[in-house]
Amino acid sequence: MATFKELGVRDDLLRAIELMGYEKPMPIQEMVIPHLLTEETDVVGLAQTGTGKTAAFGLPTLQRIDTTSRATQALILDPTRELCLQTKTDLEDYARYVDGLEVLAVYGGASIEPQIKAVKRGVQVIVATPGRLQDLIRRGVVKLDDVRTVILDEADEMLNMGFIDDINEILINVPDERKMLLFSATMPREIANIAKDFMHNPVEFVAGTRNESSANVRHIYYMVKASDKYRALKRIVDYLPRIYGIIFCRTRASAQEVASMLIQDGYDADALHGDLSQAQRDAVMKKFRERNLQLLVATDVAARGLDVNDLTHIISYSLPDDNDIYNHRSGRTGRAGKTGISIAIIHSRERGKLKQIEQHIGKDFERREVPKAEEIIEKQLFNLADKLENVEVREDDIAPYLPGVLKKLSWLSGEEVVKRIMSLEFNRLLEYYKKAPVLDIVPETKERGGKKERNASNRKPNGEKDRRIGEEGYERVFINVGKSHGFYAPDLIRMINATGKGQHIGIGRIDLLTNYSLFDVQQGEAHTVIKALRGSEFFGKRLYLEVADAGKDYAAISLEGEVKKNRAERRRMKFEAMERERGRRHDRRSRRDDRRTRRDAERGFKKRGKK
């Protein structure tokens, strides 16, 4: 393998990257850097996120800058503010020892005035988001007449975010003889079209296989019921006490809901989605980058372009619709030669989608069982032991307090002290995971002696699953609201969490019907839930709950209740209509009497006048 010096990187740039810890070039860097330094042809670089693309285009671009001129000579387009700032920071680090070289980031969501002033002072390299750059071009602030290098960074993400028209307008302002570089993690047809329309005979460099997942990432999946996804997520996180990762959700509402539940349950987590203001996004990302958060719950759109180092895990709480998006998710871990793990939590109907992703990335997922209580407790206790081993002991600071504490604990042996320290964590975990059920979906059929046997314990005679019977380890509860009342699973979860008073209540399968719902709670918790929700209302409807009875026809009871309610409603409406008609009659009589009185008064006045 060649060195950066052998690739042709200049001494002042070498000095900076050596200080940053760069030793050997990564594959995409080894391919692209010498070509960009010696050839004038356009380049398409395909490599997964985190494989060194920024240095691959950044080092040769900086080396080609004429620092005696203050004109803008290089333009880098990034899809998001976060990636724009990250790219600018990396380029400034590379150019640390290059005198007179200025790099500027321009992006939306921040005041435009300081950016205008900086551009007017003169910068050789602009890193920009398309929208803000267009604004500055229209104002006549940014001049691109001297640009010799244009770079589309994370081109597939810019395409997904709908920036193709913006890119077209920007390129109109760039000289035709510029060098254009396109870097992307994947190569969908639309990216190939961009290369065809805007580039001159581009040379393509591929690090790995197109659309292939990073070789440093392991792919794992857990299969649970849809209603058990959140509990499975908590167990996975508890089993990984040192996790530092991103949890991906499909929608903004789901991301906010999962983050809120994690925060409520005591985890260092927060949400990142499109409903947040730019200031809120910046605050969340600052906490996450500084590791004040362990878990970031995000949508794919909000997380595009995030560049965070040393992520240990990526968790897909829901699978994306686009297979390429999964590639982007998993590529955020296992970066810069490090290993990472991408986890998918799926339910049975998502198995087909998982197979499609496997074919797309060219890798198989490993199926794992959701961690059991005893496994989690063991992992957490060993993590506590590691903390005890590695804690910094500040001898001078604790010295004044140590004699008193030692005297207080003098009756305990060293082993007893360790036992009590460990019990602080063990007792909490033991209480939390007491009677915790198995969450994994067990196949409905099992092979025994060459024959298939079906578990029929909770099935009707015709084989149909009986909704009134809970899963093993759960109790079934009836509640008198359903879809017709606008009642859905998040409403139920919020109601139970709000009335739990800090107590964890495990929720299992939820069946939402038209006029009522049935749901599982952990064994022994049904009466607690019923008592807590007794007398509550859901949008004006008084709630009634009971432990589900397999002998009751809840559909008929609810229908009868709806019929009675409808009859009562019709009677009420009929009565109100009668009252309105009675009122109208009274008004007509009153008006008629008034007219008669006025008429009589007028007649009396005329008679008196004649006399």
The pLDDT value given to residue 127: 94
Residues 221 and 359 reside in one and the same domain: yes
The pLDDT value given to residue 460: 46
Domain boundary among 432, 461, 481: 432
Ramachandran quadrant class, 76 (left: phi over 0; alpha: psi -120 to 50; beta: rest): beta
Q: Give the residue numbers spanning the domain of 146.
A: 4-206
- Asked whether the CA dihedral 589, 594, 599, 601 is positive or negative, the reply is positive
pTM value > 0.85? no
| Regions of the chain where pLDDT drops below 70 | 1, 48-51, 160-161, 185-191, 208-215, 302-307, 335-337, 442-466, 499-504, 555-574, 605-611
Residues 363 and 264 reside in one and the same domain: yes
The pLDDT value given to residue 310: 81
Domain boundary among 505, 530, 552: 552
Residues 252 and 328 reside in one and the same domain: yes
> What phi, psi does 455 have (nearest 5°)?
-75, 115
The pLDDT value given to residue 450: 40
Residues 359 and 241 reside in one and the same domain: yes
Rounded to whole angstroms, what are the CA distances from 270 to 292, 297, 489?
10, 6, 22
Domain CATH number, residue 12:
3.40.50.300
Q: Are 261 and 237 in contact (CB under 8 A)?
A: no
Q: How many domains does the chain have?
A: 4
Q: Are 515 and 478 in contact (CB under 8 A)?
A: no
Report pLDDT digits (tens) over 408-436: 888 888 888 888 887 877 777 777 777 77
Cα distance between residue 58 and residue 21, in whole Å: 16
Q: Are 147 and 171 in contact (CB under 8 A)?
A: no
Cα distance between residue 516 and residue 522, in whole Å: 20
Residue 319 located in a structural domain: yes
The pLDDT value given to residue 95: 92
> What phi, psi does 185 have (nearest 5°)?
-85, -30
Rounded to whole angstroms, what are the CA distances from 514 to 482, 484, 521?
5, 5, 21
The DSSP call for residue 199 is -
Residue 606 located in a structural domain: no
